[in-house]
Amino acid sequence: MEIFDAGSTAENYRRFLQPVIFQPWSERLLSFVGLELGQKVLDVASGTGVVARAAASRVGPTGRVIASDISARMLHSVLVDADPSGASIEVLECSATDIPLDDGGMDVVLCQQGFPFIPDRAAAAQEMHRVLKPGGKVGVAVWAAGKQLEPFDAYAEAVRAEGIESAFGNIATNASVTMSEAEVEQALLSGGFTRVEVTTERLDIRFATIADEVRGIFGTPLGASVAAFEAERLDAFLKDLERRLAGPDGEPVPHSTFAVLGRGVA
Ligand SMILES: C[S@@+](CC[C@H](N)C(=O)[O-])C[C@H]1O[C@@H](n2cnc3c(N)ncnc32)[C@H](O)[C@@H]1O
């Protein structure tokens, strides 16, 4: 089973993490890439579709957007809250390394926080290149290596304190979900892209309530192990996580998040 396909991960991702973290970052990515009215856009590893929906609004009703992901559960809510005046959005369940689309049909391919989860990044980049028209654009975003990444670092530390072995990479550091500028550049070059440019941007985020921030762990691949705790252990775990995340007044604190944005031309 894919790591985002467990139980209610997708629903918790959509409720708690998407609006606070992934939605504002999707606007950054789209501004970095630059979309035009009427374009055909593919969102790879689209998850619950936050980038696809933002792209559909930007390319308008004459455009076309396809949201693709390996997890059927994540794709389930792609069309929820889609902009009725934007492009229609189609959903495609597939691996990033085997996309069932013709060569050269897309104007833009986007991928936000997908690369670290894809075992063969070069193959994924080559597939992104294949489906683009000559001159088409790719735009990717990945959490920046070497930076603190809250609330995800706190989630991982709380799980590690429980002595849990996670199937989700190295939870002692955030290395499994981050990449350096050089790694993002290399991934795009290995896909055959030219005029590759990378930059690191910062975005400050803050959850509305500490309860929402704590519940965000259930939208990550760490959530399934925690959800299996018996009631007393779960209660103690959530209190510990709240202590790790909250400020002195018990309220959520702002976090600076950093992502590497990369773009290139097919
Ligand atoms: C952190 S989520 C990002 C989702 C979305 N792009 C966003 O910004 O909200 C990572 C996504 O990558 C997907 N994924 C993981 N491995 C994949 C693969 N090999 N091919 C396609 N999608 C994959 C997961 O199912 C999950 O939806």
pLDDT of residue 171: 57
User: Into which CATH architecture does domain 9-148+175-210+254-265 fall?
Assistant: 3-Layer(aba) Sandwich (3.40)
CA of 157 to the centre of ligand 1 (A): 22
Burial class (CB in 10 A: 0-12, 13-18, 19+), 232: exposed
- Answer yes or no: is the C-beta of 75 below 6 A from any ligand 1 atom: no
Neighbours of 88 (CB within 10 A): 13
Residue pLDDT, tens place only, 119-151: 999 999 999 999 999 999 999 999 999 999 999
pLDDT of residue 49: 97
Strand partners, 144: 179
- Answer yes or no: is the C-beta of 12 below 6 A from any ligand 1 atom: no
pLDDT of residue 172: 58
Residue spans per domain, the chain: 9-148+175-210+254-265
pLDDT classification of 87: cutoffs 50, 70, 90: very high
Which of 11, 12, 71, 93 gets mutated to test ligand 1 (max ligand atoms within 8 A of its CB)? 71
Using only C-alpha atoms, the chain has a radius of gyration, in whole angstroms, of: 18
pLDDT classification of 224: cutoffs 50, 70, 90: confident
> What is the model's pTM?
0.94
| DSSP string computed for 19-41 | IIIIHHHHHHHHHHH---TT-EE
- Answer yes or no: is the C-beta of 113 below 6 A from any ligand 1 atom: yes
- Answer yes or no: is the C-beta of 193 below 6 A from any ligand 1 atom: no
Residue with the smallest CA separation from ligand 1 atom 13 is: 45
Q: Torsion-angle region of residue 146: left (phi > 0), alpha (psi -120 to 50) or beta?
A: left
- Answer yes or no: is the C-beta of 143 below 6 A from any ligand 1 atom: no
pLDDT at 167 exceeding the cut of 60: no
pLDDT classification of 173: cutoffs 50, 70, 90: low
CA of 110 to the centre of ligand 1 (A): 12
95 CA closest ligand 1 atom index: 20
47 CA closest ligand 1 atom index: 27
Residue with the smallest CA separation from ligand 1 atom 26 is: 47
CA of 248 to the centre of ligand 1 (A): 34
pLDDT at 164 exceeding the cut of 90: no
Average pLDDT over all residues of the chain:
94
Residue pLDDT, tens place only, 29-64: 999 999 999 999 999 999 999 999 999 999 999 999
Torsion, CA 8, CA 208, CA 205, CA 248, rounded to 10: -110
Residue with the smallest CA separation from ligand 1 atom 14 is: 45
Residue pLDDT, tens place only, 238-261: 999 999 999 999 999 999 999 999
State the Cα angle at 193 between 189 and 196, rounded to 5°: 75
pLDDT at 6 exceeding the cut of 70: no
The 8-class DSSP code of residue 164 comes to: P
CA of 2 to the centre of ligand 1 (A): 10
- Answer yes or no: is the C-beta of 46 below 6 A from any ligand 1 atom: yes
- Answer yes or no: is the C-beta of 155 below 6 A from any ligand 1 atom: no
pLDDT at 220 exceeding the cut of 60: yes
79 or 113: whose pLDDT is higher? 113
